[in-house]
Chains A and B, each alone.
Chain A
Amino acid sequence: MPGAIYAEGLVKTFGDVRALDGVDLDVPEGTVLGLLGPNGAGKTTAVRVLTTLLQPDSGRAVVAGIDVVKNPDEVRRSIGLSGQFAAVDEYLTGRENLRMVGQLYQMSSRDAKRRADRLLERFHLADAADRTARTYSGGMRRRLDLAAALVVSPPVMFMDEPTTGLDPRNRQQLWEVIQDLVAGGTTLLLTTQYLEEADHLAHDICVIDHGAVIARGTSDQLKARTGGERVEVVVHRSDQIEPARSVLATYGKGEITVSSHTRELTVPVTGGARLLAEVIRDLDARGVEIDDIGLRRPTLDDVFISLTGHAAEQARNNGPGPAEEARQDLEEDVL
């Protein structure tokens, strides 16, 4: 039996660009699929097709058991969409925004009001409920947008880069909301540029590039394919590279790469934080001064390099931007 979100051979072209080039998806009911990829990979196009905003050129998509192309109105009753840009009316208050959405789902005015009150309470917006949304912070707007997507408690949710542009605290809060939602039985498709986010929230991950799924599996499976952790050390002086290299050789599980220009050594390891502590002690014992040391996990770029042979950077059309930011975010939890 197909899952709550099912797609087969989805193709969508814009002029010469094949935004979707035969995408297959199958998300079992009550699970979370993370759609991971750089800008321009086709994530948003996939969401737009699945949420009836865009007609595919070919292929089939079924959401909540309903055919997306044949029965878009029925699909719209069963889904919630929270977009990349917080789509709330900034000149309406939080309460007015939610009531409007409720009424457009054909709730009676009274039910829409009651539902709005409850969502405002749950998303910690009750105090700001009668202020226009333009006075809200980025995180509050995002919560309001998410609340709008949940007005009818849809069984299937789509979230297109829900945390892009949020600060770490707001991101964390939104993750908690998403986890609660999934605990309640909602099926969720989430797109993200952040490996860490997919790791944290998704049961399964699809990596998408140039409109095609290039890898799928659990986060552990993907990491295993990508190569595991590695230790990166920056020594203080050039003449300390050699002693550092011999220390790393005893812990490493592969080739050591050295950049003498930046005095940086990198080696694949297994053993996590405890191993890192041993490496530091050992380097210290040999008198190697360390400018920087860290345990790096696979980043989005690592996933891309290992899966496609090219960096995520080159996979994008838009120049450096969010993916760059994504990599930095992932590297924040280095130690």
Chain B
Amino acid sequence: MTAVSPPSETTPRVRRGALAQSVVDSLVVARRNLLRMIRIPEMVVFGLVQPIMFVVLFTYVFGGSIKVGATISPQAYREFLMAGIFAQTVTFATAGAGAGIADDMHKGLIDRFRSLPMARGAVLTGRTLADLVQTALTLVVLAGVALIVGWRVHENFGKVLLGFLLLLLLGYAFSWIGALIGLIVRTPEAATSGGLIWLFPLTFISNAFVDANQMPAFLRTIAEWNPFSATVQACRVLFGNLPPGFVTPDAWPMRHPIVASVLWSVVILVVFRTLAVRTYRSATG
């Protein structure tokens, strides 16, 4: 084999500011993760099966028997339900981010990245950005299925779009929780279950699938302050999906759901991004 170029050879390097480097590095890593998603399509497909199953099950199995607002009507429940399923779906992206990061740790890729002179948070930002793209695609497919089973919006395009943006922001914030879990547990299997288990109580003790007004007082308080409920309520308002006779609770996040949704997402994002980047820097593979 011929000599592998001598070390005297200078490396052409583009000098950028810290922020620009951070953006470029994140995009390089995001591209890598998107390529992986294209080459492992079964992961994207399985990510879709569960929410589609929920749409169908809740619509047809529970739809005729759950009272929302003042009515028991399959159509009212169908419209009520979708914001909940959408929100649950975006938070399930947590498991994907966690499993991906844990897999990278396990395979030694995190070591490789950490030995490179790249921006500190870029490996995690790249991963979460790729998950955001996947979440957006999932939402598009899911909204299509929802339309097929009879979901309708009753507000203008701008409001509906804002609703979906709130969902994406929530999903992005939650993927940082997943990133942190992935860095801590280190095996993809543990990250998948560790990323999902706590999501079930979180998404069920909320207004996602039932009208929280009908819960016992204690649970109702939890549901109303659940970060997850704020986004669900905001989407119902923005989609025009509040059921007839729905009484908006007095809790502040339910009265100001859009602001509450943004606040909750930003707080989760800042806290968990900080923790995850710190953990990444001291990760020991």
Contacts and interface: CB of A to CB of B under 8 A. Distances in A.
Interface of A: 48, 51-55, 73-74, 76-77, 79, 81, 83-92, 96, 100-101, 103-108, 111, 118-119, 122-124, 132, 148, 150, 152-155, 173, 176-177, 180-181, 183-186
Interface residues of B, number: 41
B187 to A, nearest CB: 15
Contacts of B282: 55
Given A107-B14, A184-B5, A53 B111 contact: yes
Given A48-B111, A181-B4, 5 more contacts: A52-B115, A132-B39, A176-B1, A180-B2, A184-B7
Nearest to B119: A104
Contacts of B108: 83-87
B145 to A, nearest CB: 28
Contacts of B3: 180-181, 183-184
Interface in B116-132: 116-118, 122
A155 B5 CA distance: 11
Contacts of B201: none
Nearest to A118: B5
B11 A153 contact: yes
A91 B115 contact: no
Contact of B7 (A54, A153, A177): A153
Contacts of B9: 153
Interface stretch (B28-36, B58-66, B87-95, B175-183): B28-36
Given A52-B115, A89-B109, A154-B7, A177 B25 contact: no
A63 to B, nearest CB: 11
A253 B118 CA distance: 58
Contacts of B109: 87-89
B113 A104 contact: yes
A153 B1 contact: no
Given A83-B111, A183-B3, A104 B118 contact: yes
Contacts of B16: 106
A88 B111 CA distance: 11
Residue in B4, B5, B13, B28 with the greatest tally of chain A CB atoms within 10 Å: B4
A186 B9 CA distance: 12
A91 B31 CA distance: 12
Given A150-B4, A153-B9, A185-B8, A91 B39 contact: yes
Contacts of B6: 153, 184-185
A150 B4 CA distance: 8
Interface in B236-280: none
28 contacts: A52-B115, A77-B117, A79-B115, A81-B115, A84-B108, A85-B107, A89-B109, A91-B35, A100-B32, A103-B28, A104-B113, A104-B116, A104-B118, A104-B122, A105-B11, A105-B13, A105-B117, A106-B16, A107-B14, A108-B12, A148-B112, A153-B5, A153-B6, A155-B7, A181-B4, A183-B3, A184-B7, A185-B6
B114 A53 contact: yes
Contact of B116 (A76, A96, A119): A76
B37 to A, nearest CB: 9
B4 A91 contact: no
Interface of B: 1-9, 11-16, 21, 24-25, 28-29, 31-32, 35-36, 39-40, 107-109, 111-118, 122, 282, 284-285
A106 B21 contact: yes
A81 B113 CA distance: 10
A136 to B, nearest CB: 14
A134 B80 CA distance: 45
A106 B14 contact: yes
A184 B5 CA distance: 7
A73 B117 contact: yes
Contact of A104 (B1, B25, B36): B25
A134 B39 CA distance: 11
A53 B24 CA distance: 22
A77 B15 CA distance: 13
Contacts of A124: 1
Contact of B35 (A96, A105, A148, A150): A96
Question: In this complex, which of A55, A91, A122, A186 has the most chain B Cβ atoms within 10 angstroms of its Cβ?
Answer: A91
Task: List the 9 closest pairs (A to B, CB-CB), nearest first.
Answer: A87-B108, A76-B117, A87-B112, A155-B7, A184-B6, A81-B115, A152-B11, A85-B108, A91-B36
B116 A101 contact: yes
B7 A186 contact: yes
B13 A87 contact: no
Contact of B284 (A54, A104, A111): A54
A104 B31 CA distance: 12
Contact of B115 (A53, A96, A107): A53
Contacts of B7: 153-155, 184-186
A132 B12 CA distance: 27
Contacts of A85: 107-108
